[in-house]
Structure formats: C-alpha cells, structure tokens
Amino acid sequence: MSSDIDELIEKYRQARGGLIPLLQETQELKGFLSRETLEKIASGMNLSLAKVVGVATFYHQFHLEPRGKYIIRVCMGTACHVRGAADILAAMEKELGVRVGDTTPDLTFTLEQVACLGACGLAPVIMINEDTHGKLTPDQVPEILAKYRQKTAVIH
C-alpha cells in the first residue's frame, strides 16, 4: 500500500503546485489521510508537516479520519433548505444512528452536509458517492439506504 503512495509522490514531486492533487489521489487510494500518510507526503515533497496539515485541514474534501464506504452528502443549499433538506438530514441521522459528520461503526456510511450540489431543480437532493437522488421525502430514506446496504452485503 505504502509503495503506491511513493509512486504518487514521485509523480507529483516535480509538479509545481502538486500538493493538492497529490492529497486528492492519496485520499482516493487510502480513503482518508492518516498522520502517517501526511508525514510521508511532507518528507517526500520536501514540505514541512505544518504546511501539509494546514492545507489538508483547509479544504472540506480532505479527511483526517477514516470514512465510510458510502459518503452520503445531504445538500443544505438554499433551494434544498427551503424544500425540507433538514427533514432529510434528520431522517438520515435517525436511520443511521449517527450525527452529521460521523461514520457508522461498520464503516459503511459517512453522513455529511454540503453547501450546494448544484442540482437545485431537484431539491431536496442528496448524493451517495457519485449517485444523485433528488426530490426526496424523509420516508424514502430507509429504502435508499437499504439498497446500498444490500450492495455492501453482496460484495462481502
């Protein structure tokens, strides 16, 4: 696993401004950015650890803690907000038993809220990984989650 990171570092070592794409690709590979990973990146890119952690904590996209297999992003943008995004979020929290920002203990789901997914015509909207689900009502939530749980079960 770690050799993959070395390859990525090698790829971006010469690229100016390569830190952010490097962090993005590393996170894609590892799921999150552990301290060990960031230390490796800092020394590989010849940057101070403070700078790397500073960048990693600035952007919403980067996660310094482990994350679920499915990332549920509930849109809290203006349009979704006025059409009941809060209800969707509440239903999600209830169904998953975790709060916004947390990951289920089995590492299946991470629940997040985002500012706007840019699909306002379909408000309220959520994204689960790359799939968009629009015009939701809270009672659809259990059904949607069940689908993803099933997928996980098949894979295992």
Partner 1 sequence: MKAAEENGIDIPTLCYDERLTVTGACRMCVVEVKGARKLMAACATPVSDGMEVLTESDRVVEARREILRLLIANHDLRCLTCERNGDCRLQDYCYRYKVEDTPYKGAVIEYPVDTDNPFFIRDYSKCIRCGKCVTLCAEINGAHVYDFMHRGFDTKVTSAYDDTLQETTCTFCGMCINVCPVAALVEKSTLWEGRPWEVKKVTTTCPYCGVGCQLKLKVKDNRIIGVTADRSGSNLGDLCGKGQFGWAYVHSPDRLTGPLIKRNSAFVKVSWEEALNYVAARFTDILNRRGGQAFAGLSSAKATNEENYLFQKFMRTVLQTNNVDHCARL
Partner 2 sequence: MKRSILVCGGTGCVSSHSRLVHDALEKELRTRGLDKQFELKYTGCHGFCEQGPIITVEPEGYFYCQVTDEHVPKLVDSLREGSVYEDLLYKDPETQERVKTRDEVPFYKKQKRLVLKNCGRINPENIEDYLKTGGYQTLDKVFNMPPEAVIEEVKASGLRGRGGGGFPTGLKWAYAREARGDKKYLICNADEGDPGAFMDRSILEGDPHRVLEGMLIAGYAIGASEGFVYIRAEYPLAVKRLAMAIRQAREKGYLGNNILGSGFNFNIHISQGAGAFVCGEETALIASLQGNRGMPRPRPPFPATKGLWDRPTVVNNVETLANLPVILNMGAGAYASIGTKQSKGTKIFALTGKIKNTGLVEVPMGITLREIIFDIGGGIRNGKKFKAVQIGGPSGGCLGEEHLDLPIDYDSLIEAGAMMGSGGLVVMDEDTCMVELARFFLSFTRMEACGKCTPCREGNTRLLEILNRIVEGKGEPRDLDLLETLGRNIIDTSLCGLGQSAPNPVLSALRYFRPEYEMHVKQKICPAGVCKDLLSYRIIEEKCKACGLCLKHCPVGAITGAKGQPHRIDPEMCEKCGECLKKCPFGAIVTAGGDRIGKNKNDYQWDHVPRTRELHDLESGRRERY
Contacting residues toward partner 1, per CB under 8 A: 35, 38, 47-54, 57-58
- Output the smallest distance, CB 156 to partner 2, in A: 26
Rounded CA-CA distance 127/141 in Å is 12
Is the peptide bond preceding residue 124 cis, with omega within 30 degrees of 0? yes
Candidates 16, 153, 155, 156; binder of partner 2 (CB under 8 A) is 16
The gap between the terminal CA atoms of the chain, to the nearest Å, is 21
Does the footprint of partner 2 cover residue 144 (CB under 8 A)? no
Q: Which range binds partner 2 by CB under 8 A, 3-11, 95-103, 145-153?
A: 95-103
Nearer Cβ to partner 1 (99/147): 99
CB 125 → partner 2: shortest distance, Å? 7
Is 89 a residue that touches partner 2 (CB under 8 A)? yes
Q: Is 3 or 114 the residue whose CB approaches partner 2 more closely?
A: 114
Tokens of residue 85, six digits:
């995004």
Shortest separation between residue 77's beta carbon and partner 1, angstroms? 18
37 binds partner 2 (CB under 8 A): no
SS3 content of the chain, % helix, strand, coil (to 5): 55, 10, 35
Q: How many CA atoms lie within 13 A of 127 on its CB side?
A: 17
- The structure tokens listed for 143 are 């059904």
